Chain A
Amino acid sequence: MSTPTRIRATLKDGGTELRMLFSHPMENGLRKDAEGNRIPAHFITEVSVRRNGEIVLAADFGPSIATNPYLAFSITGGAAGDEIVVSWRDNLGDTRSDAIRVA
């Protein structure tokens, strides 16, 4: 079970500012736990952000992205009611999508 991505969208200066915080361990496969056992690699590999069904950003991640990845960027235009959908897939094949409406 994965935890929802926290998404914030703010209309500003004719554009939409997007900030998102993914909940994911982003293990690179090199760290060891308290007993000295190697923690297997477990990290998000792909992210997509859509507005009203149109892709605005597609990203690939490696394990150098920090635990609980954070992304912030702006897109042109936008209006209250726009649907923002943020999706990810990780190296173990888990996926998750979360959506918000721009307020």
Chain B
Amino acid sequence: MDSRRRDVLKAGGGLGLWSVLAAAGIVAPAQAQDARNVAAFEATTLDDALRALDAGNAAESGAIRIVAPDVAEDGRAVAISVVSDIPRTEQIVILIEENPWKVAASFRLSAAMAPSIQTRVKMARSTRVHALVKADGRLFAARREVTVTVGGCGT
């Protein structure tokens, strides 16, 4: 039996049409979840952020690479990239654990996009960086430490 079809039937009870279609891969995730996760972006503790992202039980994955310097001289702009080797990666979230607000960015990837994103973030002080990847509806996580010489959040 087609397990995806079964999931659709199961999910059909309580969820909205878009999330059902997205779960079945019928519509692109970007169409289904185009609303900002306000609770996650306003979270000021890591636990609250992970809870808002529904990521409390995200599985550790060696297939997510966080590329960042071991030591960042200037916390105002630290180059960071997240590369996912997990098939059907549809979302990448970057969290900076020691910043006042934990979620730096959430990227919703179309099927046309390679599952890799590069940006620059602020770091208030030495911190753990978390990357969450949603693939095929499941959440995976990776983390790494970055030592910051001069913090960059102005607090």
List the interface of chain A (C-beta within 8 A of B): 15, 26, 28, 30-32, 45-46, 51, 54-67, 69-77
**SS class, residues of chain A in contact with chain B:** strand
Chain B residues with CB under 8 A of A57? 30, 107-110, 113
Across the interface, do A56 and B36 meet the contact criterion of CB distance under 8 Å?
no
B104 within 8 A of A: yes
Identity of the chain B residue whose Cβ is nearest the Cβ of A72 in the assembled complex = B118
C-alpha spacing A4/B34, complex, angstroms = 24
With A65-B104, A66-B122, A72-B118 already in contact, the answer to whether A60 and B112 are too (CB < 8 A) is: no
B154 within 8 A of A: yes
Q: How far is the CB of B147 from chain A (nearest CB, A)?
A: 17
Chain A residues with CB under 8 A of B81? 72
Q: How far is the CB of A57 from chain B (nearest CB, A)?
A: 6
Q: Which of A30, A58, A73 contacts B117 (CB 8 A)?
A: A73
